[in-house]
């Protein structure tokens, strides 16, 4: 029996090895559609490449990419090993009483390109997503009737196929066609992959300093905001290891990038302090090289400010309007810039509210304008739908 068991074990083990080994000789896949990237290919060895070690590293990557079921293994591993999401959804990190993060209902996975740039997998206008968008549009159309509402949409790699420049889901058109009432809308414009690369991080899903600043300028125009535009005097590249959200999620810790930020002069700088005196973000510390470094540190949140349920800024200039921003983490990078143009600026992240009553909030805080700053994940996330109920 022992011999039989050993033979069965060796045969099964060999089978797994053969499946892996054999799949290396099947025709090589060139592109991963779901990951939106070129896959590594097996190359012929050369002495030069071998001595440099590039042949060896390419071979390891090529096996990773070409081995049987590689793509679905990656997707499932990332799905089931993201324990942090479970804790986040349970409100593990939330202290305020109105905080209770609901079930995240986006269906996103994160991927990377061979040029060490990571992009989202596509989302499309399937029935499920279409329904979510309609709910968003319907609920915000009611908001339009209540107050001057402005929409700024940030298209991300989730809805663009950079290979042919086509849009997998034209959310902007759907918004402009279907939103009702009195509103104004604009979007972040860029053409193709090269421009996209200028405006977004390589390893993180957010817009970078250039993208968010471009967005800020667009929003100031859209809102017809008064006051001098904050103009950076310098662009500084901080010498730190930035392993963005997408890299962290798929555990590609060797994917890193430099962290580029803008520097403003003292008399023309963003409003970095909240109404309660606390600093939002650590922009000054970073610019003075007083920042923490760590393998998986979220520098976007630390530099610009973290996701919080509510932020209040106050320039104490009652002659200006009061603004309410409804957004997700995309607004973190522009909150402090926009706040300089208003008397009071309120920012709410609806993902952290069980019941948000916009009417009450607008009345209580004398809101003059509402900015809805949305990216692709915003419209596919049910938590941003305003539940009007009998409000």
Partner 1 sequence: MLFSSLTFLFIFLPLLLVIYFLAKDKYKNYILLAVSLLFYSWGEPKYIVLMLLSITVNYVLALLLDKKRKYDKLFLIISLIFNIGMLFSFKYLNFFITNINNIAHLNISLFKLTLPIGISFYTFQILSYVVDVYKKEVKVQKNIFNLGTYIAFFPQLIAGPIVRYQTIEEELKTRTHSIEKVSDGLRRFVLGLAKKVIIANNVALIADTIFDSPNVSEYGTLVIILGMLAYTFQIYFDFSGYSDMAIGLGKIFGFTFNENFNYPYVADSVTDFWRRWHISLSSWFRDYVYIPLGGNRVSKLKWIRNILVVWMLTGFWHGASWNFILWGLFYGILLLIEKLLLSKILNKLPKVIRWIYTFIIVNIGWLIFRLESLDTLKVVFKNLFTTGSKGFYNFISSNYDLVNYLPFMVLALIFSFPIYKIINDKLKDSTIYLFIKDIIIIILFVLCVAFLINNSYNPFIYFRF
> Residues interacting with partner 1, by CB under 8 A?
1-3, 5-10, 12-14, 16-18, 20-21, 24, 50-51, 53, 56, 59-60, 63-64, 67, 70, 73-74, 77-78, 81-84, 87-88, 92-93, 248-255, 292-298, 301-302, 306
DSSP collapsed to 3 states, the chain: CHHHHHHHHHHHHHHHHHHHHHHCCCCCCCEECCCCEECCCCCCCCHHHHHHCHHHHHHHHHHHHHCCCHHHHHHHHHHHCCHHHHHHHCCCCCCCCCCCCCCCCCCCCECCCCCCCCCECCCCCCHHHHHHHHHHHHHHHHHHHHCEEEEEEECCCCCEECCCCEECCCHHHHHHHHCCCCEEEEECCCCHHHHHHHHECCCCCCECHHHHHHHHHHHHHHHCCCCCCCCEEEEEEEEEEECCHHHHHCCCCCCCEEEEEEEECHHHCCCCECCCCCECCCHHHHHCCCCCCCCCCCHHHHHHCCCCCEEEEECCCCCCCEEEEEECHHHHHHHHHHHHHCCEEEEECHHHCCCCCHHHHHHHCCCCEEEEEEEHHHHCCHHHCCCCCCC
* Min separation Cβ 224 and partner 1, Å: 37
Nearer to partner 1, 17 or 31 (CB): 17
* Min separation Cβ 50 and partner 1, Å: 6
Nearer to partner 1, 19 or 31 (CB): 19
Nearer to partner 1, 116 or 184 (CB): 116
* Min separation Cβ 105 and partner 1, Å: 20
Nearer to partner 1, 7 or 31 (CB): 7
* Min separation Cβ 154 and partner 1, Å: 24
Nearer to partner 1, 62 or 236 (CB): 62
* Min separation Cβ 339 and partner 1, Å: 23
* Min separation Cβ 145 and partner 1, Å: 38
* Min separation Cβ 49 and partner 1, Å: 10
* Min separation Cβ 24 and partner 1, Å: 7
Nearer to partner 1, 53 or 389 (CB): 53
Nearer to partner 1, 82 or 135 (CB): 82
Nearer to partner 1, 92 or 98 (CB): 92
């Amino acid at each position: 029996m022992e011999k039989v068991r050993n033979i069965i074990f060796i045969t099964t083990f060999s089978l797994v090895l053969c499946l892996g080994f054999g799949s290396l000789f099947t025709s090589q896949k060139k592109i991963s559609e779901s990951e939106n990237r070129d896959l590594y290919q097996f190359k012929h060895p050369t002495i030069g490449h071998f001595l440099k070690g590039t042949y060896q590293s390419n071979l390891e990557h090529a096996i990773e990419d070409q081995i049987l079921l590689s793509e679905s293994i990656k997707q499932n591993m990332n799905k089931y090993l993201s324990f942090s999401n479970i804790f986040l959804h349970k409100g593990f990190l939330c202290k305020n009483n109105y905080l209770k993060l609901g079930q995240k209902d986006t269906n996103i996975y994160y991927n990377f390109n061979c040029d060490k740039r990571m992009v989202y997998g596509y989302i499309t206008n399937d029935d499920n997503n279409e329904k979510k968008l309609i709910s968003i549009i319907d609920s915000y159309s009611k908001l339009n009737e209540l107050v001057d509402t402005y929409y700024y949409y940030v298209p991300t790699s989730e809805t663009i196929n950079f290979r042919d420049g086509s849009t997998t889901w034209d959310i902007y058109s759907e918004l402009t066609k279907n939103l009702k009432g009195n509103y104004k809308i604009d979007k972040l414009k860029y053409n193709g992959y090269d421009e996209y690369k200028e405006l977004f991080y390589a390893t993180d899903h957010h817009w970078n300093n250039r993208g968010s600043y471009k967005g800020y300028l667009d929003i100031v125009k859209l809102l017809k905001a008064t006051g001098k535009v904050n103009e950076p005097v310098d662009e500084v590249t901080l010498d730190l290891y930035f392993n963005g959200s997408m890299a962290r999620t798929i555990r590609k810790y060797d994917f890193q990038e430099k962290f580029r930020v803008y520097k403003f002069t003292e008399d023309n700088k963003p409003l970095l302090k909240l109404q309660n005196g606390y600093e939002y973000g650590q922009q000054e510390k970073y610019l003075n090289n007083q920042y923490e470094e760590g393998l998986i540190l979220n520098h976007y949140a630390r530099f610009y400010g973290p996701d919080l349920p509510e932020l209040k800024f106050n320039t104490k200039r009652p002659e200006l309007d009061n603004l309410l921003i409804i957004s997700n983490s995309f607004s973190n990078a522009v909150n402090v810039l926009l706040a300089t143009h208003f008397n009071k600026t309120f920012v709410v992240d609806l993902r952290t509210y069980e019941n948000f009553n916009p009417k009450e909030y607008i009345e209580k805080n004398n809101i003059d304008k509402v900015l809805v700053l949305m990216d692709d994940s915003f419209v596919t996330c049910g938590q941003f739908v305003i539940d009007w109920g009998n409000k």
